[in-house]
Structure 1
């Protein structure tokens, strides 16, 4: 219980620090929504000043920050400059698809990296080991946006096997066909995220398994006549889970940040695409709301990874 409280306190402190840095960094940007041309070009300076007063932008910066911080503690992220709707509502309508993309991708990355890394280590210097290593190096060096554009060009434009963009090609009638169509639209985006994520983790798992196989306890386990499956279950996997889960927790920011690019390329109406459009429109309330929620999800993922490690190994040092 003490560890959980410490983690929650850490989450709160880090969110406050992130909010402080993000708020002042965005407000120090050289342009703003009211000077970006998004408004009526005939609007007067007096009207702009009135709008700033409505949003509280006529007050000193530190007062703006304290007011904004007080509001987000009540889950009130303000009103969007561009749409005039509540930021919370805009984010909540798009959050589920981003979570589906990222969570399903992380699960697939975890499973595939374990499989490829373990099998490559057991077949060291053989064909599968060379195949997995080259595949991992290609994954590690391939930019996700470039891979996404290649897949769209080949499989969507030329072969017409997958949809180019969006999430749906049919109307929502609640039928099985609607949900299958939804999954069909997610195949290429999830593939890009998984392919870009398995490279480094597969190589890491392979090197860990090779070192484990050199250990004395593996030698004695083999001498006792244990099969490969028993070695894997009782000796290799228990030693693999802690470092792999830790690495997955640390890679969460890259996965969430990468969704901005992929959602924009595939026109997926999630938090990433919303962030991109808001950045172009200088819609600061929406940008700040997405940054805070993204930071919260990242910190929460790291805390959950630590708690899982503690469950697997009670002697795990969480300090």
Structure 2
């Protein structure tokens, strides 16, 4: 296992990166054309200049940028992310509600893309050069170059509009009371967004797994295994799977950032009430507190995935542990 000090060093590095990302996000939003005062009171406000000055003074909008960032950071450490201008609720409450939807969507797509990608990659590697392998490679390269929102629109047009198999969008049926919404209703609305994200993120794991399988099958120790009389099933279970599964899992964890970005686009296509649509609404309404809160939580989520990936690298590759021990 990886030494505790290495885990602590990785955690410390992620904390530093999180601080830097938070500061960068704060600076970009402060320096953007967004005027927090106008966003709060509206463009047609009838407030007097004295009232506006009091609001500016209360919020500290005229304070130096480092002081404003320090104030925001202290509030964050105390669990106060401010109030969303768009939703008129505490930012933390908005994020909790929206993130719950997004996590379900992302975890399902993450699991399906990882499992299906691994299985298909194994089959392609074993049948290298065959018809199935060539078709899957073409599919993966095509999907890899296609934007997530375009895939979502295609699935929406074909399966929701033309065939009518799935709802056009939202997380639950429109006009239905919350008490009347069933689990099937929620799953039915999840299917198309999950398929979109799964297809958009399956290519990398398929191509990586395929390449690793090809390298292993063409290696000398597989030749020796065949010489010892091992059949194809034994070679796959004893040698191929053992040498591919951990690196594939590690790759899957490190794909959190790409999956997170694709999720935001897919949610907007399907009008799914997750963190992606909340980000779009916050940007359009100049909701600086919500944008900052989402940036912070998103960074935590992505860095957690990267931290797990870095730890797994050491678990599955002894050479990394040896280099870190020196």
Aligned length: 317
**1:285-317 Cα deviation digits (max 9, x unpaired):** 100100110000111111122333444455544
The residue aligned with 1:113 is 117
Q: Which of 1 and 2 has higher RCO (CA within 8 Å, sep 6+)?
A: 2
Aligned to 2:68: 64
Partner of 1:130: 134
Matches within 5 A, 1:1-319: 1-35=4-38, 39=42, 41-44=44-47, 45-169=49-173, 170-173=176-179, 178-313=182-317, 315-317=319-321
Q: Is the 8 A contact 1:171 1:178 kept in 2?
A: no
Residues 203, 52 of structure 1: CA spacing in aligned structure 2 closer, same or farther, 3 A cutoff?
A: same
Contact 2:39 2:287 in 1 (8 A): no
What is the CA distance between 1:248 and its match in structure 2?
2.4
Return the alpha-carbon distance in structure 2 between the equivalents of residues 165 and 50 of structure 1: 43
Q: In 2, are the aligned partners of 1:38 and 1:281 still within 8 Å (CA)?
A: no
My pick for the range that moved more, 197-206 or 48-57, is 48-57
Per mean C-alpha deviation after superposition, the further-off stretch among 239-248 and 202-211 is 239-248
Moved more, 87-96 or 55-64: 55-64
Cα distance change on mapping 1:308 and 1:243 into 2, 3 Å: closer
Shift of residue 158, structure 1, vs aligned partner: 2.1
SS at match of 1:173: helix
Gaps of 5+ in 1: none
* Structure 1 residue 241, shift from structure 2 partner: 3.1
Aligned to 2:60, what secondary structure does the other structure show?
coil
Secondary structure of 1:53's counterpart equals helix
Q: What is the CA–CA distance in structure 2 between the aligned matches of 1:224 and 1:53, rounded to whole Å? A: 81
Moved more, 9-18 or 76-85: 76-85
Output the CA distance in 1 between the equivalents of 2:40 and 2:293.
23
When the two structures are superposed, what TM-score results if normalisation uses the length of structure 1? 0.92
Q: How high is the TM-score relative to the length of structure 2?
A: 0.90
Query: Structure 1 residues 52-61 or 109-118, which shifts more?
Result: 52-61
Deviation larger for 14-23 or 41-50: 41-50
Q: CA offset at residue 32 of structure 1?
A: 1.9
Whole-Å Cα distance in 2 between the matches of residues 67 and 89 of structure 1? Answer: 20
Q: Tell me how far apart the structure 2 counterparts of residues 40 and 137 of structure 1 sit (CA, whole Å).
A: 47
Contact 1:91 1:290 in 2 (8 A): yes
